[in-house]
């Protein structure tokens, strides 16, 4: 598939009360056009659930658990981390059930997302179960008190209007990289996002001194007894002078790259991260096809 420029990409969080149809929607999207479905064991709280790649955009759907009324402090803490995620993702889809009256659980979530800057869509699901005339009343009920950037009625089960939802989402995405190869089938889809975050920091902090072709390989990523996800990654450059720039005086630059990348990764994965970075020189690695594969790159 040839890619259109500028390419757009972003992260989308689907939230809503239990049983409104969040998983059904994901399955519907995934069934239509998925690049990957993560079946990674639950090492992270914000799990990547599916990736849709079109010729002009990539949409990464993430699950954001912990958005229920807090019963004790731990839940309260999880809620806070869930909300900080909402400010980091590109779109929040708030899903409700057209069959059920708006309830306390819906209000609770809407109050929490009322002031986030991220675009919010109201998704009214299960429209196959209601009379079309009832829809307007439902929309009015929700939008009288709360503002949404878009209101999209769907039937997640039979797929009605789901393609239109994807098109609308695409319109809100910022310009960005293709995080995942479109036919990616991997046990560890998070590796690619993590490597993109690190790469972004390298480019930001070194300005024009390091070429965009710099690669980042995530060597391993797993949760240890200290409850942190330990990430080991290698930054691959093709000249020793570039290695020096990335490491910086007394290792200062590499430390800064690590600190900034770690913050982003923590928000994205919803877990504490221990990040260790190496820098490796490998001449002409871009010209060797086998290595390109290793580095998660595609021509």
Which residues sit at the interface with ligand GDP, rule CB under 6 A?
16, 18-24, 125-126, 128-129, 155-157
What is the closest distance, in whole angstroms, from the C-beta atom of residue 55 to ligand GDP in the complex?
28
Q: Please state, as a whole number, how many other Cβ atoms lie within 10 Å of the Cβ of residue 225.
A: 5
Which residue, 95 or 265, is less far from Mg ion as judged by CB? 95
Instruction: Please report, as ranges, the residues that interact with Mg ion according to CB under 5 A.
Output: 22-23
Closest CA to 286 of 214, 184, 181, 233: 214
29 binds, among ligand GDP, Mg ion, none (CB under 5 to 8 A by kind): none
Q: Which is nearer to ligand GDP, 68 or 291 (CB)?
A: 68
- Closest approach of Cβ 50 to Mg ion, in Å? 13
Contact partner at residue 87 from Mg ion, ligand GDP, none, CB < 5 to 8 Å by partner kind: none
Q: Where does residue 144 rank: exposed (0-12), middle (13-18), buried (19+ CB within 10 A)?
A: exposed
Q: Which one of Mg ion, ligand GDP, none interacts with residue 126, CB within 5 to 8 A by kind?
A: ligand GDP
The verdict on whether omega for the bond into residue 46 sits within 30 degrees of 0, i.e. cis, is no
**Shortest approach of ligand GDP to residue 50 CB, angstroms?**
13
| Residue nearest Mg ion (C-beta atom) | 23
**Contact of residue 129 among ligand GDP, Mg ion, none (CB under 5-8 Å per partner type):** ligand GDP
Query: Closer to ligand GDP at the Cβ: 159 or 244?
Result: 159
> Which residues, listed in sequence order, are joined to residue 47 by a DSSP beta bridge?
63
Alpha helices in 89-189 (DSSP H): 104-113, 132-143, 162-172
CB of 104 to ligand GDP, least distance (A): 17
Q: Which residue is nearest to ligand GDP (CB)?
A: 21
Alpha-carbon distance 212 to 246, whole Å?
A: 13
| Torsion sign over Cα 34, 36, 41, 44 | negative
State the minimum distance, in angstroms, from the CB of residue 61 to Mg ion: 12
- Shortest Cβ 151–Mg ion spacing (Å): 22
Q: How far is the CB of 9 from ligand GDP (least distance, A)?
A: 24
Residue 8 binding partner per list Mg ion, ligand GDP, none, with a CB distance cut-off of 5 to 8 Å that depends on partner kind: none
Which is closer to Mg ion, CB of 50 or CB of 296?
50
Long-range contacts of 144-147 (CB under 8 A, 24+ apart): 145/110, 146/110, 146/114, 146/122, 147/114, 147/120
- DSSP state letters, 211-266: -TT-EEEEEEEEE-TTSPEEEEEEEEESSHHHHHHHH-GGGHHHHHHHHHHHHHHH
Nearer to ligand GDP, 26 or 246 (CB): 26
């Amino acid at each position: 598939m040839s890619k259109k420029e500028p390419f757009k990409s972003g992260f989308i969080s689907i939230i809503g009360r239990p049983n409104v149809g969040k998983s059904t929607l994901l399955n519907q999207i995934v069934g239509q056009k998925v690049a990957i479905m993560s079946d990674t064991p639950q090492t992270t709280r914000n799990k990547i659930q599916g990736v849709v790649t079109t010729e002009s955009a990539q949409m990464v759907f993430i699950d954001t658990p912990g958005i229920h009324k807090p019963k004790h402090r731990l839940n309260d803490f999880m809620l806070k981390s869930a909300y900080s995620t909402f400010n980091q993702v590109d779109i929040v889809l708030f899903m409700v059930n057209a069959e059920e009256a708006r309830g306390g659980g819906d209000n609770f979530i809407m109050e929490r997302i009322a002031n986030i800057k991220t675009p919010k869509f109201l998704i009214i699901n299960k429209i196959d179960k209601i009379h079309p005339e009832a829809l307007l009343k439902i929309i009015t009920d929700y939008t009288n008190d709360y503002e949404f950037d878009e209101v999209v009625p769907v039937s997640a089960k039979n797929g009605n209007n789901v393609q239109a939802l994807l098109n609308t989402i695409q319109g809100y995405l910022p310009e960005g990289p293709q995080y995942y190869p479109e036919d990616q089938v991997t046990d560890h889809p998070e590796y690619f996002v993590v490597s993109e975050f690190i790469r972004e920091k390298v480019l930001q902090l070194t300005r024009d001194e390091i070429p965009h072709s710099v690669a980042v390989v995530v060597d391993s990523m797993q949760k240890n007894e200290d409850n942190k996800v330990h990430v080991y990654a290698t930054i691959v450059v093709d000249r020793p002078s570039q290695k020096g720039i990335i490491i910086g005086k007394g290792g200062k630059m590499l430390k800064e790259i690590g600190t900034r990348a770690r913050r982003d990764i923590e928000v994205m994965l919803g877990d504490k991260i221990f990040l260790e970075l190496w820098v490796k020189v490998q001449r002409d690695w871009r010209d060797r096809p086998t290595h390109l594969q290793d580095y998660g790159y595609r021509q």
